[in-house]
Structure 1
Amino acid sequence: MSVAEPRRIALFRHAKADWPQVSDHERPLAERGRQDAAVAGRKLADTGLTFDLALCSTATRTRETWKLAVHELSHRPRTVYEERVYDASPGELIAVLDEISDDVRNVILIGHNPGVHGLAEILAGAAEGDVRERMNRRGFPTAGFALLTFDGPWKSVEPGVATLTDYWAPSE
């Protein structure tokens, strides 16, 4: 693949988690989260994007979210469970994205707030239509996702490089 072809990043926040007496890392999805994860997967499928790589936090709720969402996609991407995505800042997430091989075109990152929302805001130097306004008005609720596009190699991911092209969040 040529680095001249546009690349796409989906930033996907895990679905609603339960609060049992376990560590934060081990929190499972709540019933609503299981439902929202599948709906989010269908909405991701509706975008028509085919993901080459999924980078998923190692937390239980992100792994469960991805397991439910990926079943709705027409193509299952290679999935890497990445410890550095758990509780990561936008800068730490950029460092993870910078390491992606240039033969990968489209990536989905399944993570946590505030990092995922912050990353969407930081990367989006531009936005299509009212997408930024909708994202900022809603925040980045559980099971929400933002789609961004940019040109160039993965190691060029930095603030302002991308265009925010889509945003979706479940109704609350």
Structure 2
Amino acid sequence: MSVAEPRRIVLFRHAKADWPQVPDHERPLAERGRTDAAVAGRKLADTGITLDLALCSTATRTRETWKLAVHELSHRPKTVYEERVYEASPGELIAVLNEVPDEVRNVILIGHNPAVHGLADILAGTADDDARARMDRRGFPAAAFALLSFEGPWKGVEPGVATLVDYWAPSE
């Protein structure tokens, strides 16, 4: 693949989690979260993007979100459960993306706020249609995702390099 071909990054926040008496890392999805994760998976499928790699936080709620969402996709990408995505800053998430091999075209990162929303804001130098207005208006609620596009190698992922192509969030 030529590095001049557009690459896609989907930044996906885990679905709504429950609050049982367990450590934060072990919090499972709430019932609404299970429903929203599957709906988000269908919306991801509707984008028509073939995902090559999923980088998922090791937290229970992100793993459950991805398991429910990926079931809705026609192609199941390779999934890597990445400890560094849990409690990461946007800069730490950029470092993770910078390590993606250049043969990978499209990546989904399943993580947590505020880092996922912050990363979408930081990477999006431009935005198509009303995607930025929708993201600014809605914030980045549980199960939301932003679709960004950029050209160049993964090592070139840095602030302002991408275009915010689409944004989706579940109804509240």
Fold shared by both chains (TM-score > 0.5): yes
1:41 lines up with 2:21 in the alignment: no
- Within 5 Å, give how 1:1-172 maps onto structure 2: 1-172=1-172
Deviation at 1:114, TM superposition (A): 0.1
Deviation at 1:50, TM superposition (A): 0.5
Q: Which amino acid aligns with 1:51?
A: L
Counterparts of 1:3 and 1:131 in 2: how far apart (Å)? 25
Q: Which amino acid aligns with 2:146?
A: A
**Cα root mean square deviation, aligned:** 0.3
Q: Which amino acid aligns with 2:105?
A: R
Residue by residue, what CA displacement relative to the aligned partner does 1:124-165 show, whole Å, maximum 9, x if unpaired? 000001110110110000000000000000000000000000
Residue by residue, what CA displacement relative to the aligned partner does 1:49-87 show, whole Å, maximum 9, x if unpaired? 000000000000000000000000000000000000001
Counterparts of 2:166 and 2:68 in 1: how far apart (Å)? 21
Q: Which amino acid aligns with 2:48?
A: G
Counterparts of 2:129 and 2:106 in 1: how far apart (Å)? 22
Q: Which amino acid aligns with 1:99?
A: E
Counterparts of 1:45 and 1:142 in 2: how far apart (Å)? 18
Q: Which amino acid aligns with 1:37?
A: A
Counterparts of 2:139 and 2:34 in 1: how far apart (Å)? 20
Counterparts of 1:162 and 1:141 in 2: how far apart (Å)? 21
Counterparts of 1:163 and 1:76 in 2: how far apart (Å)? 25
Secondary structure of 1:129's partner?
coil
Residue by residue, what CA displacement relative to the aligned partner does 1:91-127 show, whole Å, maximum 9, x if unpaired? 0000000000000000000000000000000000000
Unaligned runs of 5+ in 1: none
Secondary structure of 1:136's partner?
helix
Q: Which amino acid aligns with 2:85?
A: V
How many residues are paired up?
Answer: 172
Counterparts of 2:153 and 2:100 in 1: how far apart (Å)? 9
Unaligned runs of 5+ in 2: none
Counterparts of 2:121 and 2:32 in 1: how far apart (Å)? 26
Q: 53-62 vs 129-138, which deviates more?
A: 129-138
